[in-house]
Structure 1
Amino acid sequence: MKLTRHMPKLPMFALLALLLVTPWLASEGRAQQPPTLPPQSDAPKPDGQSDDDEEAPVITLGTELLQLYVIVTDKDGRPVRNLKKEDFLLRENGKPQDIAFFSFVAPGATGAAPVSVAPNLPDSQPSSATVEGRYFALVVDDLHIAPGNFLPLKAALSKFVEKTLVEGDHLLILSTSGTLGFLQQMTDDKRVMRAAIERLAPRPQDTLQGNVGFGFSMTPYEAVLVERSDRQTIQFLIEQYIRAFPGTPPMMAESAVRSTARIIAQQTEYLTTATLETVRSAALALGNYPGRKTLLLATDGFLNDEFARNGRFRMQRALDAAARAGVTVYSIHSAGLEGPAGFDASQPGRFDPTGIAQSLASQGQQARQDAFRELAASTGGLTFVNTNDLSASFDKATADATTYYSLAYYPDKKADGKFHSIEVKLNLPGKFTIRTQQGFFAPSEKALQKAAEKKKKQDAKLTPEAIATREVKSALGAPVPPRDIKVKLASNFVSNGLETTFSTAFAMKDIAFRDANGKKVNTVTTVFAVFDLSGKTMVAEEERISLNFLPERLALAQTGWGSQTKSLKLAPGLYNVRFAVYDPLADHRGAVSQWIDVPDLSKAGLALSDIIFLRSVKASDAKSDKSQPGLGSGLPPGFVPANQALRQYKAEENLAFLITAHNVPKAKPTAGKSNLAFQIQIFRGKEAIYVSPLQRTQYPPSSDGTLTYASQVPLEGLEPGQYLLKLVAYEESTKKTAVQARSFTIDSPER
């Protein structure tokens, strides 16, 4: 493969014109899933791949199919890798179940721990081994983390983001208080992760702990026991109250103890509900993604009184959400290494010759761990307690998820409102440890009908337009965007003096149509919004798009994409860009969220704009293309803008592009050429499949220090799949470099 001729330098007005035009329906897109890497390749996703890039096709699990992620380790704790479908026995409520789907998932990009081979089985990896992307949710229980524990926790979280997460990993950070606000969303952008971690802060201790009155104290665990009418605890607290307030009659003291306990217990229940509901919400959000998902829960511990009115129900809701979404919970005790219970220097001493206070403190310490231990054990995860090395805990939790088996089966369809237990065993000799979800909570038929009737009544009061607005805004604001409809988004920054342009696209194959007046029609609703880092809305535009096709043209239309272009003048800074679409006929939604950084070029050195992709056409086609108005004469002959959101090429085409360099020094040119040189690099995964020599640009920079470079590379001979184009600019006089990259796709021949 060789580098073809360089295109002439383009004036800035032509570049602007290029950015502002994109056809409404880009019919070169196809309805099928974009091609993935060939089966024999285990290359990871390219560097810089964003949320809008494609994934390998996976089994989509609905309400009738339940997927389990099973970790099998030997007696030494090493993962066992060479098991087959017939080696597993699966039961629901004791009844054997048929395994409908089975696969082995190999270690990802971070490498694997040592693996073990089951005895009497060949030492070979199953042919069904696959590599899947990694999706994490980090729930920071700031409602239950002591202020003194935040500093080491934030240090561990920062290390986890910088060292443990690799290219292509996605992370959703949530706080149980909800104070992260706008930053609580799934992202692969480490700048956003850092901002979320930095915003984490201790919360006021809303639960009454320590001193309640002068010389009298009651812990949340003691309050819970009082609510259960535990006589020993009540009597102990009565004695402590009378000691603090001499002369108080026992009956009055007991009344004071019970009223105080009720307040503390209610506040404890409120905070526990917030924690478990955040875990549940995180699990449900992760359910939008394929493969195994990992939820990391950082907490000092919390009390979940299952004897209270909703205690067991709260836990079951969280566990059921995790089971149905394929989420494994790893609980990390952020309190670190705890001393013996009852020796808390921050609490006033108690007169306790009987040792009851010491016993209650020890029980309370264990009770605060019971709930987060159950979350991990019931979902097949692990718990890490009594260690000050929180970074190691996060690393071990991540490593534990590298080798596992994926089993899916059709569960009993009884909507009985009961908990259905799941048991997985091996039909093999030897000692193994098996971890997976322990079951799920089936909804009751009555509850399902009630929810459906409630929604029906609510919708009856709204117009179709109002329902569409509600649904598309819900999709836009979801921490993890819904994916019923495939959507794409790309930003194109040129300079601070020009508007940043955004290209959006949604797959027409995912849109339903109905018959009306001899045509196939639908009206979809879209929302495009841009927010700054504080969550302030810079722009929010809702549109209703009428689609209508002749029946004989529908199949062709559904091979394409609905495309739009938006422009907005943005000051330097970090912005969140979102696009969502709602199809009322199928009641389907699609959304995408992306972070962009608008640099301050006045303070930057050598910098590059975004890469603008082009595609070649015949001169006659370009002239007759009525959907491309406003193209300046500076556009290279025979080239038109590609769809910037899709960035799709055929194998027989040339990859064409242009880019603008800023703040190029006006040094004396060498050999009549500019001192700015570009190198083109094309990657597939981590492998560089094409690297050009450095090529000096033919012209010096403009008076404002800008220089636009354009080129093309033939794609003939490259396999279909995802690629990364990386451009490296090198300025010889200052020895400065700048890099820009963007992924693109080569379609399969049949597409």
Structure 2
Amino acid sequence: MRKLAPVLLISLSLTAQQADSPATFKTTTNLVIVDVFVRGKGGKAVENLKKEDFTVLENGKPQQIGIFDFQRIEAAAPAATVQPRPTVTAARANAITADAPGKVKYRDKRLLVLFFDFSSMQPQEQIRAQQAALKFLTEQMTPADLVAIMTLASGVQVAQDFTDDRDRLTEVIKSFRIGDSSELSIEADTGDADSAEYTGAAFAADETEFNIFNTDRKLIALETAVRMLSALPEKKALVYFSSGIPKTGVENHSQLESAINAAIRANVSFYPVDARGLVALAPGGDASKAAPRGTAVFTGQAITKQKTKFNDQQETLFTLAEDTGGKALLDNNDLSAGIQQAQEDLDSYYVIGYYPAETATDGRYRRIQVSVSKQYQAQLEYRPGYYAAKEFGKFTSSDKEKQLQEALLLGDPVTDLPLALEINYFRLVRDRFFVPVAVKIPGSEISTARRGGADTTEFDFIGQVLDLRGRIAANVRDTIRVRLGEGDAAQLGSRNIQYDTGFTLTPGQYRLKFLARENQSGKMGTFETGFTVPNINVEQSGLRVSSVVWSGQREPVSAAIGSGANQKLLVNHPLVSEGQKLVPSITRTLSKKQSLYVYFEIYDPAQKPETKKPLVLASVTFYRRGIKAFESNPVQLTSLSKDRTGTLPVQFQVPLARLQPGRYTCQVNVIDEAAKKFEFLRGPLVVLP
């Protein structure tokens, strides 16, 4: 696989430098730095090239090279028996330190970061990762190597800054607490009635409310790590020990792209290592899981889903490596080989910098082409482009609108403003579904301005739904101004803003890309995910039901952000009743002081011959660690909706005061007495004190 060297876009300018002094850059203008690996026929680095031997093009236009430097990294054999005396000792062990801004701190050194994601590994996998790192330090580390250590448990921590002190690095790695945060590696039970675990085991969750059901947490951690490393202009390789990044719930593909683009800008290549090694999947799961429910284990459906889940976990690791110029080590029991791969890839390279003629801060992609004189017959490896910076403060009104429109098309998602998103579906008529979308923004990320004696903030929202052929199926564009009272403004840091919109779609598979911008600071956030509107009209063994909305709040329609201002959206809105709107709990985190509201719909229920009415029984059960904690009294439903033909609304209100704080699996039990059919609908819930 061709290895690509990253590009670093920073605000720098060249200063005079002596032949033996490290390259130094000072901040004045945009400088693009390209690391270029030049190899001859034998694969060895071509040295002694001059600036005049290189040609650099950006978007097809020649660029004048302003910086030229060669980083000579010796490929000496590792000294396993006689360890050299350390020459680089970290000034601070708990932070990545750099010299003066823009100064190359580690000249002619290979920078390796060992990143241990404890939140994704079981204890036995943590042990394997630890042993692989110790093997590298004692047997494979060379005098040219500098190693830093980072960990992810409840948050990203720098355990050791770059150093070649093997004793110090060994001490840090041996100090790991095996089993730390391993409970976070357990994936959520998705509630699949055919193949999910029977026990309703606890789901993998973040410790913060906003990200509790979002696997973006691991990608955000990687992005945080590369931002820490961005202060160093040298090339870095981050070896990511993990057991895969699962795809559970609603994936935000924008966060994956954002982490990759941040790595490119920070001059970092990812080298993921699957700490599970070579795995043989037992049909139906091994002894670490409960037996699956239903018949899927006998039909082969269970092992198919099991293999698909495993492949999805590895696919994300492969994407991180492929798109940043690294390599992924998968299905290999020698985990230290992943570190060796990064070590081998980081050989000597040229640092080329230029000031682009195109200075527009429009966020567009800039394509880079680098070549050398044909006489050298060399192969060049480098990152083929970068995304220009974006500046909101200088935008006019038309610029701001253009930015929103182009953001849907740009390949560089913006994640400065965190978003969580929930999509539901409800049948309107036989071939049309209403798809409400709820977007949640943490109040701590929002800036306000004082207008008319009150704090206000303004949001722009834009979204686009595409079908499988890439055609636009629906879109939304909205500007909302939020006026906050004194109490609301004071508590904004611990509260959230929720926006609601919706689309009318036919059954099928779609992709939603949604973008929000807070107009005081210009922060933007992108959320991109696929979703399916099922064709529930076909014959099926179970009941025809909508998605389930879990909520902890009802509010007046006039207080809703988004849908409250759009009266057309409220016509036949399933979540609106008697002037009150049910607010979906996107993170499904509620307090004991609240009540849990559950809403869903049953379509075309059978009717009892004697009454010509449906007869449906429904209840809600709460499970904790596989044990029933509470079950509501069953309710009897016999009345169809007056507004929509063949629709039976089902809603519960369950006080949470009797539940102990903790994590639960909620199960809605539905029995159609007339049709002799049943359905079990499940979802996770966290109850706070």
Q: TM-score, normalised by structure 2?
A: 0.45
Structure showing greater relative contact order (alpha-carbon pairs closer than 8 Å, 6 or more residues apart): 1
Q: TM-score, normalised by structure 1?
A: 0.42
Higher helix share goes to which structure? 1
| The structure with more radius of gyration | 1
